Amino acid sequence: MSPHVMQAKARFLFIVAALGLTLGCNLLAPSGSRRSEDAALLLMLASHSLIEASVAEAPSASRGPGLSGARAAGGIAAGPRRNEARMMAEWYHALAERLPEDDEVRQGYLDKADDYYDQAKALDEERERAERRRHRGFFRWFGRQVKNFGEGLGRVVGGVMGFAGAVVEYVVEEELPARIRAAIKGEWERIKAIAQGKIEMFWQRLATRYGDVFTAYLRDRVDPLFIRLRDRVTGRTRRVSRRLTLTAQALNPAEATATSTQKPVAPPTHTQPPTPGQLLSKTGTVVPVGLDPGLRATSNKISITFQDDGRGVVRGSGVYAAIYMWEECHKELPTSTRWELTGTYDPATKRFGGTMQEYGQGQIAYTNCSVGDVPEYTRGQGGTWEAALENGVIKGSMTLIQGGGTPILRVTFEAR
């Protein structure tokens, strides 16, 4: 090829690249709404899903035992890239399902989930379109021409991007997974001269994170962010106390006494304010509203541990066990309900909030009056809890959510 022709080609490709960048810049017009939490989370999900897809496509020889093991265990999904918008939709949906039906944020989350489902559908269609485009001969050829524009022009484009001296190389879609793998660990491989027999912690993290536990991972990771968002949007922290007061008033004191053989609750006493940063543990009893109290309660206890400066995760556990009478067979059957609580504490407002899981176990009587054991099982779809600290006493309530989002049990408690 003559120098003249090469120069012409170079000029042509430079114009193509420069115009491409110009258009790219125009598309990136600033927008305030793109500074939301969701946008940042979508970026995180996009990064994770691209890495996951690149790992899934890795040839077995380059995976190393860690990655092979993770894939063999089913931790890392093979196949196409996940739809990040759908993940957000499912996430919002799951969050809404965990809220009581009268929660003012619940509908907002459901609406958001619907929006993300629509977005996910549009994204699926776009990715299918792009895939079809890639498989067409001309378009594939064209993409490769753009990619192969040479190092000289790559340096020019690098300069345009603000990296004078760097080389920009366009990557066709098929090469992307290998490029991502190379980008992530290329430097590490070079420095430490690793080849085979190495295990990358990140792949193990992926194995733990993704697959069946993916949503649970994300939920745990960013739940505080959502709780914070919800509180900010609704001013919930200011309302929690009012709701708790109303809940307490709505409770029938006579029923509360009849439903349990719990120890009488002592009147609140003034306690010395704890030293900042102190780890506190408070224990008390629960009042299961709407639950058959049984013949007699054999255990009724709840404990909550928190740091009084609001740091760390608040943890709690509770149990209500009772003996029930199975009338048809005249048998007494033990049954127990157990709760695990996690959440946060805001020392400024002295409010708690978080999620809880309820477990049940016990014995049942069959139609022939034989008795069988029911091993511990998870009830409903988890739930929420909230409480307030007043005069050293934590007063609060837990709500279990069943499928479809209906609250099925409200339990109030006091711990001192």
Partner 1 sequence: MDRRLLPRLLLAAFVGFIAPLAIAVLLVLGYGLQVSATMPKTVSAIPAETAGPDAWQLSSDQERALSENGHPESFAILFYDEEGEDGSLENVRYETWSYYTRGLEMTFINGELETQTALDRFSAKPGSLSCRPEQFAPYMDLAEVVRAAGLSSFTMTPLEDQLLPGGETYFADRLTFGLIDGELRYIETLPTVEEG
Looking at residues 117 to 136 of the shown chain, list those that interact with partner 1 (rule: CB under 8 A): 119, 122-123, 125-127, 130
**Residue 47 found at the interface with partner 1 (CB under 8 A):** yes
Residue appearing with tokens 């193509």 = 16
For partner 1, the closer CB: 306 or 324: 306
Footprint of partner 1 on residues 180-209 (CB under 8 A)? 180, 182-188, 192, 194, 197-202, 204-205, 208
Neighbours of 79 (CB within 10 A): 9
Q: Which of 106, 41, 48 is nearest to 77 (CA)?
A: 48
Which residues, other chains included, contact 354 with Cβ-Cβ below 8 Å and sequence gap of 6+? 227, 314, 341, 342, 343, 344, 384, 385, 386
Round the CA-based radius of gyration of the chain to a whole number and report it.
29
Q: Judged by CB under 8 A, which stretch of 16-24, 260-268, 278-286, 320-328 contacts partner 1?
A: 16-24
The span from the CA of 374 to the CA of 335, in Å, is 9
Q: Judged by CB under 8 A, which stretch of 46-54, 250-258, 263-271, 392-400 contacts partner 1?
A: 46-54
**Residue 219 found at the interface with partner 1 (CB under 8 A):** no
DSSP states along 141-158: HHHHHHHTS-HHHHHHHH
**Residue 23 found at the interface with partner 1 (CB under 8 A):** yes
For partner 1, the closer CB: 134 or 263: 134
Torsions phi, psi for 185 (to 5 deg): -115, 5
Cβ atoms of 229 and 37 within 8 Å: the answer is yes
What is the size of the binding site for partner 1 (CB under 8 A)?
A: 91
Cβ atoms of 359 and 337 within 8 Å: the answer is yes
Question: Where does residue 80 fall: left (phi above 0), alpha (psi -120 to 50 degrees), or beta otherwise?
Answer: beta
Q: Judged by CB under 8 A, which stretch of 40-48, 97-105, 331-339, 374-382 contacts partner 1?
A: 40-48
H or E segment to which residue 238 belongs = helix 236-250
Q: Judged by CB under 8 A, which stretch of 44-52, 249-257, 298-306, 384-392 contacts partner 1?
A: 44-52
For partner 1, the closer CB: 186 or 268: 186
Footprint of partner 1 on residues 68-127 (CB under 8 A)? 84-85, 119, 122-123, 125-127
The span from the CA of 6 to the CA of 15, in Å, is 14
Q: How far is the CB of 273 from partner 1 (least distance, A)?
A: 21
CA 336 from centroid of its chain's CA atoms: 29
Footprint of partner 1 on residues 304-363 (CB under 8 A)? 311-313, 344
Q: Judged by CB under 8 A, which stretch of 1-9, 17-25, 253-261, 286-294 contacts partner 1?
A: 17-25
Footprint of partner 1 on residues 133-172 (CB under 8 A)? 139, 142-143, 146-147, 158, 161-172
> Which of 9, 10, 14, 21 is close enough to bind partner 1 by CB under 8 A?
21
Pattern 232-271, partner 1, x by CB under 8 A? x---------------------------------------
Task: Tell me the two tokens of residue 236.
Answer: 């919930």
